[in-house]
Amino acid sequence: MKKSWRERPTGSLFSRLWRPWVTLNPFRGRGRSINEPRAVGIRDLVASPEEIGSRPERRWMVIGIFFLVLLLVLIYRLFNLQIINYSQSVANVDANSLRVSTIPAPRGLILDRSGHPLVTNVITTEVQLSRAEAALDPSIKGALSALTGVSVTQINAALNNQQYDPYQPAPILTNAPARVVEFIKTHPSEFPGVSVSNVSTRSYPLGGLTAAEVLGYVGPITGAEIAAHPNEGYQTNSQIGKTGIESYYERYLRGVDGTRTLTVDAFGNILGSVVTKPPVSGNSVVLNIDEGLQKALDSYLAADIITVRHSIDPVSHVHPKAPNGAALVLDPNTGAVLAMSSYPSYNLNSFVNGLSETTFHQLLNEGAFNNYAIQGLYTPGSTFKMVTATAQLQTGIFPANKVVDDTGVFKVPGCLQGAHGCLFHDDQYSGAGLITLPTAITVSSDYYFYNLGYLFWSQQQRYGETPIQNVAAKYGLGQYTNIDLPNEVQGRVDSPVVRQQLHAAAPKAFPNVSWYTGDNIEMAFGQGTTAVTPIEMAQAYATFANGGTRYAPEVAAAVVSPTGKVIERYLPRVLGHVNLPPSVRGPILEGLTGVIANPRGTAYYTFHSILHFSLANFPLAGKTGTASNAPGLAPNSWFVGFGPTNHPRYVVVCVIAEGGYGSEAAAPVVAETFNYLYAHPPAPLTTRAHLGLPAVSATTTTSATTRPSTSTTSPG
């Protein structure tokens, strides 16, 4: 029989569940009606000790187990941090308390072939401001502005510039005057957070204008450049070579940055310096360039272009605009670049002292930052005739000694009278009379080469579609020269394939896609859409001058450590050969020599009025080029010369865009350059024995090491 709930044990579960109701029931055991009120006492609300069992041992057991689990977790965590992941733990702690800032390494020097410095470093004084102090006391910026003359706006821009390391003071004033430095040092309490530091900047012993495009400049690194050089240690505040040698040999010149480890608190405030790793200076790059020759070439080119702008072109009867030009000197036996000039130019010091945005855009619009020696595309005109003559004699399509009657006007055989492209004439409609190949080159007969262009096209079944273009490729025209400078532009030699490629890329600029006899005639004497760079033409004539070996142009000769140890040395690099037996080279050389030595030569009077030496002692050869432009514009002016002809040591090229006749605009620069070379021959590389550099042999044909890689730009 079941017991009532009142008769069940006091400590039962049932009683515990129902006791609150029983305790609070005002009618329990009173026999009163449900509506009769009753007072409630403390005994009705709280159970007696006898009614609840005491179990303290279970509580201590639960508490003990809980703390034991915590202890085991703590032990495991300590074991994991201090044993298993010790290295990572230390790194995490250091990251929370240490910050590493960069100490820029001084860049290596750039020297000429004799060891004379072209680019060095100079220590300048820089005023810097701590970001933390400026944030705590903004009035410092006003005081510093009053002292230095730098506006508060400029100071704020420097402090907020993300390019600079946040744990390094921001540079406020570079090349600070002595009075400013002295005042800051003698009044430190007035300028808390302001410091004066010595920094290394680029310096140019020759003034900053000499060989600016070759040497190049250094500037702040960009995000794209950091992404292009991953894992190479560049920081957001790093400097990097932007152009020229500074860019191409960046990995040698930059050095190894040092580090300064700083302790910081939880708010990022700098507490002190822990350890410093000193920077390592960059290596020096020794160039093949001769300092004196470079300065002379720069001055000849600039002065000549200014003179040309004040003259009148006899063909177009306008003042030539001569917007740009280039000149360079090569050693044909090695490919060494002895000098390279480009105009217009700029002063390298502008990127050290500061260049306003207005001035920068002005120079940019003028094309001053272009190196026209490797980036300028010019129609070659008659300088291309050497290529066509080589194809003529290699194929035997026309004997060198065959006489041709140059009447000044060439009519395409079989062409309909009056049809477009039937008649070709020279600029003065006057013929040279009876001539052979050497004379045709000497007097620059267009008629002779019109005829060659026609003969090759009319006999293409025998000689192929592009025999002249094939020889041009052997000489390196229309190809990269592989010069050790960045952003070289590739030229082009007109052909049926090139014509189609140009049309596909720019239909409006190049609407014609067909190739006719007239196109082949124009190409044969350097017109049409053929366009080459001065360095390509210099390489082609150097190949002819040395007898047929095509070398890559070399600006740098070696890389030397700060202690004088040779790290890399660059020997001549052979890229190809042109078959030039005496039967081929002889008649062409005779014609090129006559350009300067023969009274009928196109440059005879120019050279004889400028040269300070006898051609009997130092014979020269060369070729003028006058390449037509659009109506109303003066033609492009070219001259290529080399000498001495019995054993060529120099190839000199000059081109002036829209400069006029080659004999009047470009030839004087080449003649003046040979005057300098005759009186001041460049010192041989063996004179740099103190740098440990070996003599460069003309028979050496391979490079001892691989050049740094560089990007190239295709022609527009």
Domains and CATH numbers, the chain: 5-51 (no CATH), 100-286 (3.90.1310.10)
Q: Among 685, 689, 563, which Cα is nearest to 289's? A: 685
CA distances, 532 to each of 55, 179, 375, 384 (Å): 103, 54, 9, 10
Q: What is the dihedral of CA 382, 386, 388, 391, to 10 degrees?
A: 180
Low-confidence ranges of the chain (pLDDT < 70): 1-56, 81, 86, 88-101, 162-168, 262-275, 315-316, 416-421, 427-429, 686-716
* Residue 617 burial by Cβ neighbours in a 10 Å radius (0-12, 13-18, 19+): exposed
Long-range pairs of 188-193 with CB within 8 A, sequence gap ≥ 24: 190/143, 191/140, 191/143, 191/144, 191/147, 192/133, 192/137, 192/140, 193/129, 193/130, 193/132, 193/133, 193/134, 193/137, 193/140, 193/169
Say what the pLDDT of residue 531 is: 96
Q: What share of the chain is helix, strand, coil (3-state, %, to 5)?
A: 40, 20, 40
CA atoms within 13 A on the CB side of 707: 23
For 123, the token pair is 């220590």
CA distances, 503 to each of 506, 512, 529, 600 (Å): 5, 7, 11, 41
Asked whether 217 and 204 are in contact (CB, 8 A), the reply is: no
Say what the pLDDT of residue 711 is: 42
Asked whether 330 and 290 are in contact (CB, 8 A), the reply is: no
- The dihedrals phi and psi of 663, each to the nearest 5 degrees, come to -75, -20
The rounded distance, in Å, linking the Cα atoms of 136 and 129 is 12
* Beta strands 549-551 and 433-435, pairing class: unpaired
CA distances, 65 to each of 61, 72, 76 (Å): 6, 11, 17
Question: Please, which residues bridge with residue 46 across strands?
Answer: none
Q: What is the 3-state secondary structure (H, E, C) of 217-265?
A: CEEECCHHHHHHCCCCCCCCCCEEECCHHHHHCHHHHCCECEEEEEEEC
Long-range pairs of 21-24 with CB within 8 A, sequence gap ≥ 24: 23/47
Asked whether 300 and 642 are in contact (CB, 8 A), the reply is: no
Which residues neighbour 124 within 8 Å (Cβ) at sequence distance 6 or greater? 174, 175, 176, 198, 199, 200, 201
For 652, the token pair is 């000199």
Say what the pLDDT of residue 202 is: 92
DSSP letter for 508, please: T
- Whether the link from the prior residue into 344 is cis, omega within 30° of 0, is yes
**What 3-state DSSP class applies to 126?**
strand
The rounded distance, in Å, linking the Cα atoms of 435 and 426 is 15
**What 3-state DSSP class applies to 276?**
strand
